């Protein structure tokens, strides 16, 4: 039984990765179950053993991408040689989000990739926990990490505005006419550090709190999968 479940996990992951490639290449509207089966080298029936339909599959795909993003952010934090502060944590998150075409599409509501999916589902539900929310900013202000003379609403809007710019700028300015995106993210992090972050050493607390938050998010996704399927099906 264990080996059967393991094979199903492998098959489900292979199907999701195939769906991700096709959606990035052709968009949600033009990606069919037949295309996904062909790309994943499985039968169409094998897909329906895992999902009830196309929308169900793509819903799981974005949860799969979110889990990969969480693991990527966690890895970047743990491997950072610099002390973790709000500015470089924000930069790490931006860089990780920018490295995923599907996550970027979710955040910017890219119609070319998301197509009709953007109307069928609420893309914000996948990524809102990763962004600087009003609640998290209020906590950082009370902890003396962020300046408090600006309202949490304004700061949350500002952080979201900068993220939107980073993730959507390539559709406006061609890459050959723009500086490397990582240099832009570094400059944004420096602006955040110089203009919004209060002086003080909070690195160890911030790092520990962030890792705990990421672990909680991952466990929530896995709990949802267990509740729905009886076992944790997808492992990025």
CATH code of domain 65-229: 1.10.357
CA 231 to chain centroid: 23
3-state per-residue secondary structure call for the chain: CHHHHHHHHHHHHHHHHHHHHHHHHHCCCCCCHHHHHHHHCCCHHHHHHHCCCHHHHHHHHHHHHHHHHHHHHHHHHHHCCCCCCHHHHHHHHHHHHHCCHHHHHHHHCCHHHHCCHHHHCCCHHHHHHHCCCHHHHHHHHHCCCECCCCCHHHHHHHHHHHHHHHHHHHHCCCHHHCCCHHHHHHHHHHHHHHHCECCCCCHHHHHHHHHHHHHHHHHHHHHHHHHHHCCCCCCC
Cβ pair 74, 214 in contact under 8 A: yes
The tokens for 125 are: 């539900």
Q: What integer pLDDT is reported at residue 126 of this predicted model?
A: 57
Cβ pair 51, 60 in contact under 8 A: yes
Could you give the CA distance from residue 121 to residue 142 in angstroms, rounded to a whole number?
Answer: 35
Q: What is the pLDDT along the chain (236 residues), one digit of tens a residue?
A: 333 444 588 899 999 999 999 999 999 999 999 999 999 999 999 999 999 999 899 989 998 999 999 999 999 999 988 888 889 999 999 999 999 999 999 888 888 999 988 777 665 555 555 566 788 888 889 888 899 999 999 998 899 889 989 988 888 888 888 899 999 999 999 999 999 998 876 777 888 888 888 888 888 777 766 555 444 444 44
Q: What integer pLDDT is reported at residue 61 of this predicted model?
A: 94
Q: What integer pLDDT is reported at residue 235 of this predicted model?
A: 41
- Other C-beta atoms lying within 10 Å of the C-beta of residue 31: 25
Q: What integer pLDDT is reported at residue 190 of this predicted model?
A: 93
Q: What integer pLDDT is reported at residue 6 of this predicted model?
A: 42
Residue 178, CB half-sphere, CA atoms under 13 Å: how many? 16
> pTM of the predicted model, to two decimals?
0.81
């Amino acid at each position: 039984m264990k080996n059967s479940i393991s094979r199903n996990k492998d098959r489900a992951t292979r199907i999701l990765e195939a769906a991700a490639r096709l959606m990035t290449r052709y968009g949600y509207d033009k990606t069919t179950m037949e295309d996904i089966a062909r790309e994943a080298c499985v039968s169409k029936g094998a897909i329906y053993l895992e999902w009830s339909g196309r929308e169900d599959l793509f819903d799981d795909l974005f949860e799969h991408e979110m889990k990969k993003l969480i693991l990527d952010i966690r890895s970047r934090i743990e491997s950072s040689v610099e002390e973790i502060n709000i500015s470089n944590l924000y930069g790490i998150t931006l860089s990780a989000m920018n490295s995923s075409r599907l996550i970027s599409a979710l955040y910017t509501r890219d119609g070319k990739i998301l197509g009709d999916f953007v109307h069928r589902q609420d893309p914000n539900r996948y990524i809102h926990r990763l962004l600087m929310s009003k609640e998290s900013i209020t906590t950082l202000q009370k902890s003396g990490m962020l300046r408090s003379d600006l309202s949490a609403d304004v700061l949350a809007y500002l952080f979201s505005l900068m993220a939107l710019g980073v993730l959507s700028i390539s559709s406006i300015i061609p890459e050959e006419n723009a500086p490397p995106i990582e240099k832009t993210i570094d400059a944004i992090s420096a602006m955040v550090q110089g203009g919004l972050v209060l002086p003080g050493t909070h690195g160890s607390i911030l790092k520990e709190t962030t890792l705990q938050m990421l672990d909680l998010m991952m466990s929530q996704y896995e709990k949802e999968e267990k509740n729905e399927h009886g076992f944790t099906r997808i492992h990025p």
